[in-house]
Structure 1
Amino acid sequence: MNMSNIPDLKCGIISVSRDCFIISLSENRRQAIISAYEKKYGNLYEVKKTVENEKDMLAAVKEAKDAGCNALVVFLGNFGPETPETLIAREFDGPVMYVAAAEETGKNLINGRGDAYCGMLNCSYNLGLRHLKAFIPEYPVGTAEELADMIAEFQPVARTLLGLKDLKIITFGPRPQDFFACNAPIQPLYDLGVEIEENSELDLLVAYRAHENDPRIKDVVADMTAELGTEGGNPYPDLLPRMAQYELTLMDWMEEHKGARKYVAFANKCWPAFPTEFRFEPCYVNSRLVSRGIPVACEVDIYGA
Structure 2
Amino acid sequence: MNNIPKVKLGIVSVSRDCFPVELSVERRKAVVKVCTEKSIEIFEANTAVENEKDVLKALQELKASGTNALVVYLGNFGPEGPETILAQKFGGPVMFVAAAEETESNLINGRGDAYCGMLNASYNLALRKLNPYIPEYPVGTPEEIADMVADFETIARILLGLSKLKIFTFGPRPHDFLACNAPIKPLFDLGVEVMENSELDLFEAFNNHKDDPRIPAVIKEMEQELGDGNGYPGILPKLAQYELTLKDWAEDHKGASEYVVFANKCWPAFQTQFGFVPCYVNSRLASIGIPVACETDIYGALSEYIITCATQLPATLLDINNTVPKDMYANNQNKFAGYSLTDLFMGFHCGNTPSCHMKDCSMKYQLIMRRLLEPDKEPDISRGTLEGAIRPGDITFFRLQGTADSQLRSYVAEGEIIDVDPKSFGGIGIFAIKEMGRFYRHVLIAGRYPHHGGVAFKHVGKLLFAAMKLLGVSDVAFNQPAAMLYKDENPFK
- TM-score by length of structure 1 reads 0.96
User: 1:268–1:297: 8 Å Cα contact kept in structure 2?
Assistant: yes
* In 2, Cα distance between equivalents of 1:4 and 1:245: 21
Aligned position for 1:82: 80
Contact persistence 1:89–1:133 (CA under 8 A) = no
Residue 266 of structure 2 contacts residue 294 of structure 2 at CA under 8 Å; is this kept in 1?
Answer: yes
| Structure 2 CA distance for aligned equivalents of residues 86 and 264 of structure 1 | 33
In 1, Cα distance between the equivalents of 2:262 and 2:87? 31
Q: Which residue of 1 aligns with 2:106?
A: 108
Q: 1:48 & 1:184 partners in 2: Cα distance? A: 47
Alignment pair present for 1:171 and 2:200: no
Partner of 2:489: none
Corresponding position: 1:58 with 2:56: yes
Q: How far 1:129 moved relative to its partner?
A: 0.7
CA contact (8 A) 2:168 2:260 kept: yes
Contact map agreement 2:40 2:150 (CA 8 A) in 1: no
For residues 39-58 of structure 1, the aligned pairs below 5 Å read 39-58=37-56
Residue in 2 aligned with 1:142? 140
Which residue identity is paired with 2:80?
A: E
- State the match for 1:17 in structure 2: 15
Residue 234 of structure 2 is matched in structure 1 by: 238
Tell me, in whole angstroms, the C-alpha distance in 1 between the residues paired with 2:194 and 2:86.
Answer: 30
Partner in structure 1 of residue 214 of structure 2: 216
Once the two structures are TM-superposed, the CA of residue 57 in structure 1 deviates from its matched residue by 0.8
Alpha-carbon distance in 1 for matches of 2:63, 2:131: 19
Compute the displacement of 1:66 (Å). 0.5
- CA–CA distance in 2 between the matches of 1:151 and 1:301? 33
Q: How far 1:25 sits from its partner (Å)?
A: 0.4
Match of 1:249 among 242, 245, 250: 245
Residue 282 (structure 2) aligns with: 286
User: Which whole-Å CA distance do the structure 2 matches of 1:245 and 1:14 have between them?
Assistant: 50
Letter in 1 for 2:272: T
Deviation at 1:222, TM superposition (A): 1.4
Q: Secondary structure at the match of 1:274?
A: helix
State the one-letter code of the partner of 2:275: R
Question: Per-residue displacement from partner, 1:255-285 (whole Å, max 9, x unpaired)?
Answer: 1110000000111111111111111111110
2:262 is paired with a residue whose SS is strand
Unaligned runs of 5+ in 2: 302-493
Partner of 1:6: 4
Contact 1:41/1:152 (CA < 8 Å) preserved in 2? Answer: no
CA apart distance, 1:28: 0.7
Task: Give distance in 2, aligned partners of 1:243 and 1:134.
Answer: 44
1:89 Cα offset (Å): 1.4
- From 262, 273, 289, the counterpart of 1:266: 262
Kindly indicate whether the alpha-carbon contact (under 8 Å) linking 1:176 and 1:272 is maintained by their aligned counterparts in 2. Answer: no
Alpha-carbon distance in 2 for matches of 1:196, 1:176: 18
The alpha-carbon deviation at position 202 of structure 1 amounts to 1.6
Task: Give the number of the structure with larger relative contact order, counting CA–CA contacts within 8 Å between residues 6 or more apart.
Answer: 1
C-alpha distance in structure 2 between counterparts of 1:7 and 1:153, whole Å: 15
Query: Structure 2 CA distance, aligned partners of 1:183 and 1:220?
Result: 33
Equivalent AA in structure 1 for residue 124 of structure 2: N
Q: Distance in 1 between matches of 2:55 and 2:35?
A: 24
1:283 maps to amino acid: C
Q: Which amino acid aligns with 1:300?
A: T
**Counterparts of 1:89 and 1:187, CA distance in 2:** 27
Deviation at residue 224 of structure 1 after TM alignment = 1.1
Q: State the AA in 2 paired with 1:195.
A: E
Per-residue deviation at 1:8?
Answer: 0.7
Q: Offset at 1:106?
A: 3.0
The question of whether the paired residues in 2 share the 8 Å contact of 1:169 and 1:197 is answered with yes
**Hey, what's the Cα distance between the residues in 1 that align with 2:242 and 2:129?**
45
Supply the distance in 2 between the matched residues of 1:103 and 1:181 (Cα, whole angstroms).
Answer: 52
Structure with greater helix percent: 1
Give the root-mean-square deviation of aligned CA atoms: 1.0
5+ residue gaps in structure 1? none
Alignment of 1:94-133 (within 5 A): 94-133=92-131
Secondary structure of the 1:13 match is strand
For 1:217, the aligned partner's letter is I
State whether structure 2 residue 90 is matched by structure 1 residue 92.
yes
Helix, strand or coil for the counterpart of 1:139? coil
Q: Distance in 2 between matches of 1:177 and 1:276?
A: 19
The aligned counterpart of 1:162 is 160
Give 1:207's aligned amino acid: A
Equivalence map 1:163-202=2 (5 Å): 163-202=161-200
List, as ranges, runs of 4+ consecutive aligned residues in structure 1 with deviation greater than 4 Å. Answer: none
Alignment partners' CA distance in 1, 2:292 and 2:29: 42
Letter in 2 for 1:222: K
TM-score with structure 2 length normalisation?
0.60
Between Structure 1 and Structure 2, the one with more strand by share is 2
Structure-1 residue corresponding to 2:204: 206
Q: Which amino acid aligns with 1:8?
A: K
